[in-house]
Amino acid sequence: MQTDLRGRDFISDMDFSKEEIETVMDVAFKLKRDRALGIRHPLLEDKTLALLFFFTSTRTRSSFEVGMAQMAGHAAFIDSTTTQISHGDTAKEIGEIYGRYYDGIAIRQCDWDFGNKYINDVAAASRVPVLNMQCDVYHPFQILADLMTIIEKVGDPRGKTINVSWAYASSYQKPISVPQSLILQMTRFGMNVRLTHPPEYKLMPDIVQQAKDNARKHGGSFEQLDEFDAGFVDADIVYPKSWGALLTTTDNAESAAIGAQYKDWITDEQRMALAKDNAIYMHCLPADRNIEVTDGVIDGPNSVVYDEAENRLHAQKAVMALTMR
Ligand code: CP
């Protein structure tokens, strides 16, 4: 167990070693169990966390706010449009100044080819931990909750097959951060990771290379498929979600035309039947219902999406407690 996480940033999934992620899981399960038993953990009394959002959120905002309150701290929700950022406050100024007010700075900045750089620029100027609530490259807290959910539902992740698949959605060009963080983290836990997508929906080559390296190092495997049904076959865990063709085009109209070729990439009962009988269906949410996934699957017996959403709270409490004390 590696417990010396005090003061550390968590921006990329790889910022914490595998052993440190195991420590986070251990603490998260304890905090979840103790919450159910009514055992209080005022671990962050007198501590404050800035929650700086450049993008909307249902789960991330609430789970960070509630997590801070449950540990006797305070989270300040800051909508970037209500700040002076558009009038000139730089990433350095946010890092320097918020770092002097708060005990941690959490940021969601998903703008393509910008968000990750912005969060790292804030971190470079900050004297307190900077936590990535999702950028254009990574969504590390989502994947901690996903790992926790897999351990709860499937048991030891080693040797289990997870299908990280693209699915069609019409709402908007969703970030590629969830599949990228999934293939990075799950390959460190000895899983057989499948990445399934049409050719236009590639992920960043260096992230894919890191996933391959992780699989080699940690005894799992990593394979890439381009056929939707094939990804489901005999999988223990299916995680089909939409993401934008951002490495192919950033033009919304062109992207919509590309996506329209793959409208049949919807997770339905027939696709689920290709996976193992007890396979779990995961999604970070929000999902485009009956476009990306049928109601029958997302509300069905194999779906774990609400437990997955709940685990955001417990996993984030663990990281906040370990980094901000
Ligand atoms: N999964 C997730 O990050 O949800 P929100 O966008 O609602 O925060």
pLDDT tens-digit map of 231-247: 999 999 999 999 999 99
**pLDDT tier, 202 (very low <50, low <70, confident <90, very high otherwise):** very high
Separation of alpha carbons 257 and 202, rounded Å: 16
**pLDDT tier, 3 (very low <50, low <70, confident <90, very high otherwise):** confident
Start-to-end CA distance of the chain, whole Å, equals: 18
Q: Give distance in angstroms: CA of 118 to centre of ligand 1.
A: 19
Has residue 146 got a pLDDT over 90? yes
CA 283 to chain centre: 10
Query: Tokens 């109209």 label which residue?
Result: 253
Mean pLDDT, rounded, for 28-47: 98
The interaxial angle of helices 140-154 and 18-37, nearest 10 deg, is 70
Neighbouring-strand partners of residue 79:
53
In 27-184, at which residue ranges do the beta strands (DSSP E only) sit? 48-53, 74-79, 104-109, 130-135, 161-166
CA-based radius of gyration for the chain: 19
72 φ/ψ sector (left φ>0, alpha ψ -120 to 50, else beta): left
Mutate to test the pocket of ligand 1, among 53, 55, 58 (most ligand atoms within 8 A of CB): 58
Separation of alpha carbons 239 and 195, rounded Å: 10
pLDDT at 112: 97
Mean pLDDT, rounded, for 177-182: 98
Instruction: Verify cis geometry, omega within 30 degrees of 0, for the bond prior to 205.
Output: no
Q: Which residue from 322, 320, 323 is spatially nearest to 66, judged by alpha carbons?
A: 320
Percent of the chain with pLDDT over 70: 100
224 to each of 14, 97, 166, 212, how far by Cα in Å? 21, 44, 12, 10
**pLDDT tier, 318 (very low <50, low <70, confident <90, very high otherwise):** very high
Atom of ligand 1 nearest to the CA of 55: 6
Residue of minimum CA distance from atom 1 in ligand 1? 284
